[in-house]
Structure 1
């Protein structure tokens, strides 16, 4: 299983946007935060904009904003908006002439379907606000309880 990189980029960028509290961020700023290219941000955010998770404004002072409160955005919604699963599970192609492989394949397919249902249900319970709270808790512990004005030890120049 491999984690979806588009989802990781989207979550990382969305968390930085949530931390900014409504101040727009350009694709270039988000690309710097996520160590990717601005084009990747724009492509990834297209589905998020269509689903009402983010909004964008052009021109001076424009950029990307969360369109809803972090408490109302779930990981399930984000996964659906980018149209890719959090994890991709691929089973090897079976040999149609072998009954053993066919039986094993059917059992594995059923297990993957069940795991997918469980994962989707769990993702629907985790919000962007939950993740932001976790990041802040980890950042606070990393700093030994010291407060500063940066998110994850980095400023957003």
Structure 2
């Protein structure tokens, strides 16, 4: 399964903002660190701001977390940049034949397992705060 990089780039971005609280973090600077295009960084900034996770001030241009790091978990960030459409991680192929012995009940038998995996993902990401990531980063740097 392949996911896009917005989630990991958003986490990387927020980490940079946390460790540089008084520094103006431009999309170009974050782009250099993440390897992502500055346009993508600006899009992520917008999504995080809309979700109430970032404060972006004009003037000095300081970008800050809108909440304390222990109040933002990875699921918050995931849903901010990817949307709360985790059920779209696993999409069924279109035009499943109702005439096929497997196809006629394929979604019915697979859905409970996919739903369980998605709940586990949500639970795991919800249990990890940005504060925890900051502590883990501090321990290895």
Describe the SS at the equivalent of 1:23. Answer: coil
C-alpha deviation, 1:37, in angstroms: 2.0
Q: Superposed, which structure 2 residues align to 1:33-72 within 5 Å?
A: 33-59=33-59, 61-72=60-71
How far apart are 1:125 and its partner, in Å?
Answer: 1.1
Runs of 4+ in 1 over 4 A off after TM superposition: none
Deviations 1:91-132 (A, max 9, x none): 333222213223333221221111111211221111011112
Note closer, same or farther for the CA distance 1:101–1:138 as it changes in structure 2 (3 Å cut).
farther
TM-score normalised to the size of structure 2? Answer: 0.84
Q: Distance in 2 between matches of 1:19 and 1:102?
A: 53
CA distance in 2, matches of 1:97, 1:129: 52
8 Å Cα contact 2:22-2:62 kept in structure 1? no
CA distance in 2, matches of 1:34, 1:48: 16
Structure 1 SS opposite 2:132: helix
CA contact (8 A) 1:10 1:44 kept: yes
Give 1:69-84 correspondences, 5 Å limit: 69-84=68-83
Residue 90 of structure 2 corresponds to 89
Count of matched residue pairs:
137
Query: What's the CA shift for 1:6?
Result: 0.5
Q: Would the aligned equivalents of 2:70 and 2:132 in 1 still touch at CA under 8 Å?
A: yes
Gaps of 5+ in 2: none
Show structure 1 runs of 5+ residues with no match: 140-157
Structure with the larger helix share: 2
RMSD (Å), alpha carbons: 2.0
Instruction: Give TM-score scaled by structure 1 length.
Output: 0.76
